Structure 1
Amino acid sequence: MKIDFHSHVKLAKNSDFSMDNFRDIIKEAREQGLTALTITEHFNTSNFLMIYDTLDEYYEYKSDYYDVEGLKIFTGMEVNIPGDYHILLIGNVVNIRRIREGLNGYEEKDAFISLDKLFELCDSSDILIILAHPFRHDPLCNIKPELLEKFNAFDLNGKDLFEYGIEEMTDKVMELGKKCDIPVITGSDSHQYLQLGSLMTIFDKECETISEIKNEIKAGRYEIFISPCLNIKVKAARIIKGFLKPQLEAQSTNN
């Protein structure tokens, strides 16, 4: 299974979810050789639950993923916590919906949920919990060691590899993983679909459930692929996003 663990299906938080854009995402994912994708849209994006309401209308949900013409779309979200850290939660859509409801009231920066409370919110569910781009806003990653150890994985992030250097950031995240004994997986962090394929995690096994994915990650039965075209992909996606984002936000405001 070739999967991207960090992807978005909206260009901006204030834009509307579009099935046309989603179909373009699926097409590009296929062309890049991905067989699975996780939706980790920002939890405080406008109309978050509408994304999954819409997908429910179009696609069958099997085990822990939507079957989109053979491509597995696992469900999740990206949650902000104090300190400018972001946490990826990936799980069955029922659990993701429940956790999102539990985050009502925590949407604004001065009210973000604490990491320990977020772990408590996830405790009763089988959730894959990933620390996203651990060094983006904090070069020292000052999360308490006892909390770092609770993560299932750390995110080697396509945007950060572009911003800070592929070799430098890869070494930094891998070193953190080794220090904490936490596996490192990959996420493109795509908001525009041309960024897909910039890097991926390749499993020997075709996983159907979050539990299977967690087991494979823990056992280390996977490898990381970084595209030689990563910088071009991220730069192209950024340019297009910058062009389209104001238009989409204006359309959403008018609607």
Structure 2
Amino acid sequence: MNFDFHTHGKLSKKVEFSLDYFKSMVKAAKENGLDGFALTEHFNTRNFFDVYNTLDEVYPYEQGYYLVDGVKVFPGMEVDIQEVGHILIVADRTTIREIRTLLDPFASKGNFIKFAQLFELVAPFEILIMGAHPYRKSTPLYNLDPVLLSKLDAFDLNGKDLYSMGIDANSQLVFQFAKSLNKPVVGGSDTHHQLQYGCIFNELERECNTVNDLKNVILSGAYTIHISEDLSEKVQNATEQKAIEKKIMEAATINKVSNV
């Protein structure tokens, strides 16, 4: 089972969720050989709940995932913490909604939840919780309290960072860091645009249907990370195209809101 642990269903946080855009993303994921992915949309994206409300209306939900044109889409979100890092959470759809509701007081910049407080908030739930792009300059995790970092299930080897920092340099940093905490590393494309799918993915040795299945595969090391030979081309093309489309879509969203 080929799987991506870090993806987005929207081009940017400022635009509305578009089913057509999401369908194009899933189509691209499938064309790039993925059998499933975690939909880790930003928790403070515009109208977060619209994402899962729309998926509920359109697609069947089986065990722990939406079945979208043959691709397993596991619910998730990416949470900002006060210390500036980003944390990925994957869980069943009810849990994601409950956690997001609890995070509502912490959704605006300047009011993000503290790292320790986040662990307290999610403690009652069955989740997969991972540290996103630990060496990204804008949102580093490596310098945070190792006691808290050790509570994470895994760390994200991120497609964007592999491109910006260099595959060898970023891989070495992330793997050494994770090893120091005795934690595994998983691959995540961090795609907001369909062109980025397949730049990095994980070949899971077992079929997964629930978040516990995913967690067990990670913790048992039953997977292999694959980095595409075309990673640089994929990320660069996606970044350039995203910049063009983002201006158009955000302008359309502003105009729509202004006319209401």
Aligned to 2:22: 22
Distance, in Å, in 2 between the alignment partners of 1:46 and 1:109 is 14
Note the C-alpha offset of 1:140.
Answer: 7.5
Note the C-alpha offset of 1:36.
Answer: 0.3
Q: Which moved more, 1:137-146 or 1:103-112?
A: 137-146
Note the C-alpha offset of 1:69.
Answer: 2.2
Distance, in Å, in 2 between the alignment partners of 1:203 and 1:133 is 21
One-letter amino acid matched to 1:77: M
One-letter amino acid matched to 1:232: E
Note the C-alpha offset of 1:139.
Answer: 6.3
Aligned to 1:47: 47
Q: Which residues of 2 match residues 54-73 of structure 1 at below 5 A?
A: 54-73=54-73
Distance, in Å, in 2 between the alignment partners of 1:53 and 1:191 is 20
Note the C-alpha offset of 1:65.
Answer: 0.3
Note the C-alpha offset of 1:83.
Answer: 2.7
Aligned to 2:182: 181
Q: Percent identity?
A: 45
In structure 2, list runs of 5 or more residues that go unmatched. Answer: none
CA deviations 1:147-180 (Å, max 9, x no partner) are 1110010000000000000000001100011110
Is 1:238 aligned with 2:212? no
Distance, in Å, in 1 between the alignment partners of 2:16 and 2:46 is 7
Distance, in Å, in 2 between the alignment partners of 1:209 and 1:217 is 13
Distance, in Å, in 1 between the alignment partners of 2:82 and 2:124 is 23
Distance, in Å, in 1 between the alignment partners of 2:147 and 2:141 is 16
Aligned to 1:120: 120
Aligned to 2:250: 249
Q: Which moved more, 1:85-94 or 1:113-122?
A: 113-122
- TM-score, structure 1 normalization: 0.98
One-letter amino acid matched to 1:50: D
Aligned residue pairs, count: 255
Give 3-state SS (helix, strand or coil) of 1:238's partner.
helix
CA deviations 1:116-146 (Å, max 9, x no partner) are 1111111111110000000103667111111
Q: Which moved more, 1:141-150 or 1:151-160?
A: 141-150
Q: Which residues of 2 match residues 153-164 of structure 1 at below 5 A?
A: 153-164=154-165
One-letter amino acid matched to 1:193: Q
Note the C-alpha offset of 1:110.
Answer: 1.1
In structure 1, list runs of 5 or more residues that go unmatched. Answer: none
**Gap change, CA 1:140 and 1:25, over 3 Å in 2:** closer
RMSD in angstroms over aligned alpha carbons? 1.0
Is 1:170 aligned with 2:171? yes
